[in-house]
Amino acid sequence: MAQDGVKDDPETVRVPFVQRVRKPNGDVHLYFRRGAFREGPLKSPDGSPELKAEIDAILERVRKASDAIARPAAGTVGGMLKAYNKSAEFLSLARITQRGYQDYIDELIADTGDLLLSEVTRSWVIGMRDAWALRGHNAANKRMQVLKNALMPAIEDDTDQRIQGDPFHKVRKVRRPHDAGEAHPAWELAEVEIAIEEAIRRDQPGLARAIALGRYGGFRRGTIVSIPLNARTLGRDGRGEPETRLVWITSKRQVLSDKREDARLAAVIARTPNRALTIAYNKRGDPFSVRQFDQALERLLDRLAADGKIRATIKRTSDGRDVVVCPLTIHGLRHARGVELAEAGASDAEIMAQLEHASDAAAKIYRRQAQRRKMADAGQDRIDNVVKLKARQAARKARNGA
């Protein structure tokens, strides 16, 4: 009997550790899944000998990584990477960042763990960067950062400097391709409202709340999925009038968030039920995991994009087909909040307080974006005025000629 969508066929190969995920457009993507390890989408057709070979290759790589992680030799890159995830610097990172870094650490140990520290040179670092660049600029730069963090103690060790000089000195990051588009485009208000209404219509009120928390609260993903109901506290404004405040320690920076709740967020919460101890929740009424939230939002947005209700782009699938997807992300909601604050005239300090930033770098970006938008609109106003003036002149000439 066929299982998991694989048809009975004499040439079909039964392949373990394959997870099948059906997309809104009907496509089925294949992923390798064993325990917490997940990789994909896979390139080979379902049930094919090539798929089995692809899975076997991944299993062998996982086995080698496990062996390398278990026995990193002293004086090697693997030894430094193994020590890094026990360092105070690593442990001070947010949990979600730790999990992401750990994936890179495991991969780096598998790829470079046996290399002696004395062999780490600038040319080797550049070679690794260029090899990683084939996966994309973001993947390359993140791996470079983790590697640099792990090797820094060996670079800065004055008494026993196992790495000569600083091999990362003047090694540039991989630039984002000019044709890659904006990484996290800011949502338009109409798109936010459409997504919230669609989530409520599909009986996903917790997802509607999550979108509202991102757009009207400016929260990061980790805070959106974990902020509890009791973070909404009743306080008093400067005139002594009652107001609802959001008081919570954010997930990434561990910064105190204490701000008045946006009326638009309060309206979404008021029209949706409380089903969990957290403000946002999944369809079963349980708190979202980060992966659940990402998948639920992606499915909702891709469906709306396919229906032509929000912005869309074309993506080429692994089998060469073009499909309609939505370029919006959860982080784009936070960007939209930042630009909105800048357009309203908020100072850098006010934007930092609203978005729980540790520096004013992002606030300056939001203010530049808001200024560009304002200047673009001002330029369009000038064009509109000229067009109207010419239309009036043409109408006057027509009247005079008549």
Q: Dump the DSSP string for 188-241.
A: PHHHHHHHHHHHHHTT-HHHHHHHHHHHHH---HHHHHH-BGGGEEEEE-TTS-
Q: What is the pLDDT along the chain (402 residues), one digit of tens a residue?
A: 344 444 444 455 678 888 888 877 778 888 888 766 778 888 888 888 888 888 888 888 777 666 655 566 778 998 899 889 888 888 887 777 888 888 889 888 888 878 889 899 999 999 999 988 887 888 899 999 999 999 999 888 765 557 888 999 999 998 877 655 567 899 999 999 999 999 999 999 999 999 999 999 999 998 999 999 999 998 777 788 889 999 888 766 667 788 999 999 999 999 999 999 999 999 999 999 988 999 999 999 999 999 999 999 998 776 778 889 999 999 999 999 999 999 999 998 999 989 888 778 888 888 888 888 888 989 999 999 999 999 999 999 888 876
Question: Hey, is 15 helix, strand or coil?
Answer: coil
User: Closest Cα partner for 293 from 187, 351, 389, 214?
Assistant: 214
What pLDDT score does 70 carry? Answer: 55
Length of the chain equals: 402
Extract the tokens encoding 371: 């200024």
DSSP conformation class of 7: P
Query: CA angle, corner 71, sides to 65 and 75, nearest 5?
Result: 110
Extract the tokens encoding 118: 């004395």
What pLDDT score does 362 carry? Answer: 81
DSSP conformation class of 117: G
What pLDDT score does 393 carry? Answer: 92
* Alpha carbons 80 and 162: distance in angstroms, whole number: 11
Q: Give the domain 71-180 fold.
A: DNA polymerase; domain 1 (1.10.150)
What pLDDT score does 8 carry? Answer: 46
* Alpha carbons 378 and 337: distance in angstroms, whole number: 22
User: Closest Cα partner for 210 from 293, 327, 286?
Assistant: 293
Provide CATH code, domain 181-402. Answer: 1.10.443.10
Could you tell me which residues come within 8 angstroms of residue 137 by beta carbon, excluding any fewer than 6 positions away?
Answer: 173, 174, 175, 176, 177, 180
What is the pTM for the complete model shown?
A: 0.64
What pLDDT score does 225 carry? Answer: 94
* Alpha carbons 29 and 207: distance in angstroms, whole number: 24
What pLDDT score does 380 carry? Answer: 94
Other Cβ atoms within 10 Å of 187 Cβ, number: 27
User: Closest Cα partner for 352 from 361, 278, 147?
Assistant: 361
Q: Is cis: bond before 228, omega within 30 of 0?
A: no
